[in-house]
Structure formats: structure tokens, C-alpha cells
Structure 1
């Protein structure tokens, strides 16, 4: 595989590039988000993953601005909240996010979950498409989407294109779900990869619930790394975009030190377990709504 660095990016279906390592700010209190984001950027991260639901868009943006790094070199994600999943609310949240951050554009906006029923989630998607057309958003995608909802959205996009022309239904570029060796989601990953859709991995560290796993510990010793670094390296080599989160500066740095080693094919196969309950306690990708 091509050598990965902290500056590595992957091109999305939208034509824009996304850094392959992101800094997640889920559950980071707004009072310390700016400082944490600033430290992450000083460490080398260039990608910040926020959401309306996290209530820390503004401090995330403040940390990005404080870094002094040109906006063109940074990547910011936000998400339309699950409980507001419809056309009008999505349009409102896009404008609110631009106002909260003070940015001229949003790099990536996702539908946070497939809640709200078919009419509302497709309406919210239409609002994202209009956001791209208006220059407010560069790339759009979804989060917590399983096969049922992905196929629903794909069918909608195709139907709009048949009527209005190519690209008019929007370009699905990202699906962000929980991904790690104990929840590999092979069917979802296969579906998305076949269509060039980037898989973003939240909970890539399994919320530290598996750090004492014997296999993980043995691989960490083999490579002179921590179990967390092994998990993040696995995610990168799977072709995912992991979104590790931490409020500890030393851990933020540790999570970025994953480019000076490579897991062997045997290592990767040994981590191919694929069975684990989601760390959130609820898996929206299994919903049939």
C-alpha cells in the first residue's frame, strides 16, 4: 500500500479531498473544545469532525482560526441533528452552522442519522444538495446509514438524475459509522467502497473497552506501539478515515503517531473478528424505518 503520512488525503466522489485522519469532538465540553482543537492542529491534524448535536461548532471553529493555518488547508465537518430531520430544518441548520463557525463554506455536512422517516430524510438530503449548489457546502454525505437507508438514498438520487440530469440528486460521498475490528460492517463497507463512498470510522478506539484484549496487546508489543495506535493503524489500512477523540493532550499526540509502522497482512487478518456490540449501545444502521 502507498505510504501514509499525517498529511495524506483521499479524493471523494464530490471531487474534493478529505484528510485521512480526523479529530473528533463528540462529548468534548464547549469550554475546552477550542483548546483541544488548537492542540490537535498543532500536532498535525487538519480535519475536525463536529456536529450540531455536539454543541461545539463555534469553539471548534475558534480553535481552527487560532491555529493560524489557512482555511483552505483545514477540513470541517458538521451534521444535521437526528431530531430535526426534514427539508426546512436542514436548510436552517446549514445557515446556523455557517453563522456559528463564521466560515464561508462547510467542507462536509452529513445527515447525522436516518431518523424521521423516508420523506423527512430525503427532504433533508435535498436541502444538502441545494447547499452545495449555493456554494455553502462542498461535500455531502450521511452518518449511521445501513444498507436499507443507503439503497433508499441511492434510488432517490437516480430518480432525480433521470428527471433533472446528472448530479442533480446530489453526490453521496461519505458514510460515517462506528467501525473497528469488532464491528467491521463488511456489507456496508463493501457497498460503499463499490461506489467510491468514503467510510469514516467513529469509535475507532472502541471507547477504550478493548485495550486489554490479548491479541491487541500482543500486536502492540510486536510493533512497539499502544493498543490504541494499533486500532487506528488498522482503520487506516482498511481504507477508513478514523475520527479519534481525546481531551488529553498527550493522547491527542499519541493518536497521530501512527505513520512510522505498518501492520502486516497476517496482523490485519488476525484482527478480522467482526463481532461486537456497538459502543453507543444502539445501532441505528439496523433500523428499518
Structure 2
């Protein structure tokens, strides 16, 4: 894991991607639920050293992010921006058109069109199907990941195939913040439950993208690189996996690959 040198901002470690680029291990998530805060995004970029933003066409905030990125004055080449297309955009020409439209809304020339490509919510069965139908292996797989949902078999599968595993919902949509074990560990380390969850995820080698629209929460979520959770405590958190989904369960989804 390398550290990106960004004068004037906190340094966030990065990990290499098979495309030849590097992705920051901590990013800022956005979504179609829970609102959007221009101030929070600008603060994350200007004050917290965040250089990784996750969004999607479906979230409806790509144009809003363009304004925030412009106001932050962070250079495009210093940013890792992820957006996701909708299933209706399948097919080469439709996908290319949708990607160009996302670039226009975000105010960027590339995401890449396309520097790195990935998938979201793909389980082993879906990745195996993709392997049969496509030539290029995804560079990233973005999947729900938190103490209650730790799909280690999938993580191991991705690592063997040089696919970066990226975890969303690291706080289990708040459910993890009230768990007695996590609260106890937070007290032990003098941290917040959110910081324990995020640090645990990063220590497990997961690119982690917590979401918040509150400046103070973003500040809190970013202060996770000046402490380490002991291995025995990591194992305690690892043992909390119960298969719970707080987003949605893609287990029974069949993906149709059109090429």
C-alpha cells in the first residue's frame, strides 16, 4: 500500500489497480438516498485529503459533483472518480453514450472513457459468468462490506484474480454503530464506532467508501490513519459476520452479459 503525496492535504494510502492506476483506500460515497451536501463534498476534498469520489448515474448528483469538484480546485488528475451506469445502458454503443453523458454531467473528459473498469454487486458466480463471456477482467468489484457482511470467499477470489475489492456501507447504515462489541472497542481505542468500522475495513485490505452529508462526520470518518486495531481485535470484528445485508442481496440475481 503506497501513500499519495498531496501537499496541503492529509495523505490517504492508495493501492494499485490492474489497469496501471492507483485507487485511494478511503473515498466519499454518494447515493440516491439520504440527500446531497455541496459543502460536505468540498470540505472532504479541500480539508480531508479525499481524492476518491463514488457516484452513479442513478444517484442523480453527477452535475452537483461537477460544481463541488470545480470549487474545491483539486486537479482532475489527482482524483479517482467512480460512476456507475444503469442496466438499461447495456450494449456497446449504449454504454459508450451513457459514459460520455456521465462525463459531461461530471465535467470531466475521462472517468476513464475509460481508465479503469469495474463491476458492482458481483458475486463469484457472476464473475465466473463474466470470465466466460468477456476478455477483460474487471479492475474493481464494489460490494457491501461491514462487520455483519464480510464475504471473505469473494474477497479472496477477487484477490487471486487481481480485482480490487471495494466495500460500501462500511457502517452497515448505522447498525454497526450501536453494537456493544464495536462500542466497547471504540472506548478501548479512544475512537468512535464509525472510526473502528472504517479502520477495520481498511486493515482488512478493503477500499472503503463511507457516505455522509455532514462535515463533522466526514472529518470523523477520515481520521483513521493514525491508529491501528490489534490483530486479536480485528479477529473479534471478523467474527461478527452473520450474513446480514443492509443494502440488497445479489445472490439470486442473474446478470445477462451483452457484448
The answer to whether the superposition gives a TM-score over 0.5 is yes
The alpha-carbon deviation at position 209 of structure 1 amounts to 1.2
Residues 70-99 of structure 1: per-residue CA shift (max 9 Å, x gap)? 111111110011343333331221110111
* Counterparts of 2:88 and 2:39, CA distance in 1: 29
1:141 to 118, 126, 129: 118
The alpha-carbon deviation at position 61 of structure 1 amounts to 2.2
Does the C-alpha gap of structure 1 residues 221 and 230 become closer, same or farther in structure 2, counting only changes over 3 Å? same
1:46 to 51, 66, 71: 51
Does the C-alpha gap of structure 1 residues 28 and 58 become closer, same or farther in structure 2, counting only changes over 3 Å? farther
1:239 paired residue number = 205
- Kept in 2, the 8 Å contact 1:220–1:226? The answer is yes
* Counterparts of 2:207 and 2:142, CA distance in 1: 9
1:275 paired residue number = 242
1:102 aligns with 2:104: no
The alpha-carbon deviation at position 155 of structure 1 amounts to 2.1
The alpha-carbon deviation at position 29 of structure 1 amounts to 6.9
* Counterparts of 1:279 and 1:76, CA distance in 2: 24
Map residues 62-101 of structure 1 onto 2, 5 A cutoff. Answer: 62-101=67-106
Residues 113-161 of structure 1: per-residue CA shift (max 9 Å, x gap)? xxxxxxxxxxxxxxxxxxxxxxx2100010000111101112223xxxx
- Kept in 2, the 8 Å contact 1:33–1:56? The answer is no
Question: SS state of the match for residue 279, structure 1?
Answer: coil
- Kept in 2, the 8 Å contact 1:178–1:204? The answer is yes
Does the C-alpha gap of structure 1 residues 6 and 182 become closer, same or farther in structure 2, counting only changes over 3 Å? farther
Question: SS state of the match for residue 98, structure 2?
Answer: helix
Residues 13-32 of structure 1: per-residue CA shift (max 9 Å, x gap)? 111111110100113677x4
Question: SS state of the match for residue 44, structure 1?
Answer: coil
User: RMSD in angstroms over aligned alpha carbons?
Assistant: 2.0
1:181 paired residue number = 147
1:156 paired residue number = 133
- Kept in 2, the 8 Å contact 1:10–1:20? The answer is yes
Where structure 2 has 5 or more consecutive residues not aligned to the other structure, the ranges are: 5-9
2:171 paired residue number = 205
Q: TM-score, normalised by structure 2?
A: 0.89
* Counterparts of 1:14 and 1:260, CA distance in 2: 29
- Kept in 2, the 8 Å contact 1:211–1:227? The answer is yes
- Kept in 2, the 8 Å contact 1:8–1:20? The answer is yes
1:228 paired residue number = 194
- Kept in 2, the 8 Å contact 1:33–1:60? The answer is no
The number of residue pairs the alignment matches comes to 248
* Counterparts of 1:217 and 1:262, CA distance in 2: 16
2:229 paired residue number = 263
Question: SS state of the match for residue 102, structure 2?
Answer: helix
The alpha-carbon deviation at position 201 of structure 1 amounts to 0.6
The alpha-carbon deviation at position 250 of structure 1 amounts to 0.3
Question: SS state of the match for residue 229, structure 1?
Answer: helix
- Kept in 2, the 8 Å contact 1:29–1:56? The answer is no
Does the C-alpha gap of structure 1 residues 230 and 29 become closer, same or farther in structure 2, counting only changes over 3 Å? closer
- Kept in 1, the 8 Å contact 2:120–2:142? The answer is yes
Does the C-alpha gap of structure 1 residues 142 and 285 become closer, same or farther in structure 2, counting only changes over 3 Å? farther
The structure 1 segments of at least 4 consecutive aligned residues displaced by more than 6 Å after TM superposition are 1-5
The alpha-carbon deviation at position 219 of structure 1 amounts to 0.6
